[in-house]
Chains A and B, each alone.
Chain A
Amino acid sequence: MSTGALIIEVLSWICITSGAFFVVVGAFGSWRLEDFWARLHAASVTDSGGVILMTIGMCLQAGLTLVTVKLLIIGIFLFITGPTATHAVANAALMSGLRPRVAKGLVPVEPAPLEPSGEPEKDDDDTGDFGKVGTS
Chain B
Amino acid sequence: MFIVATIAIFGGMIFVLIRAFSGPTMYDRVLAVNLFGTHTVLLIGVMGFLFGRPDFLDIALLYALINFVGTIAVLKFFRYRAIGDITQIPDGMADQIADSMRGQMSEPRATSEGEKGA
Contacts and interface: CB of A to CB of B under 8 A. Distances in A.
A20 B5 contact: yes
Contacts, number: 158
B64 A74 contact: yes
Given A20-B8, A27-B11, A88-B72, A97 B101 contact: yes
Chain A interface: which size bin? 35 or more
A20 B79 CA distance: 34
B9 A23 contact: yes
Interface residues of B, number: 58
Q: Select the residue from A23, A26, A34, A96 with max chain B CB neighbours within 10 A.
A: A23
Interface in B37-60: 38-39, 41-42, 45-46, 49, 54, 57-58, 60
B111 to A, nearest CB: 12
Interface of B: 1-2, 4-5, 8-9, 11-13, 15-16, 18-19, 24-25, 27-28, 30-32, 34-35, 38-39, 41-42, 45-46, 49, 54, 57-58, 60-61, 64-65, 67-68, 71-72, 75, 78-79, 86-87, 89, 94-95, 98, 101-102, 104-106, 109, 112, 115-116
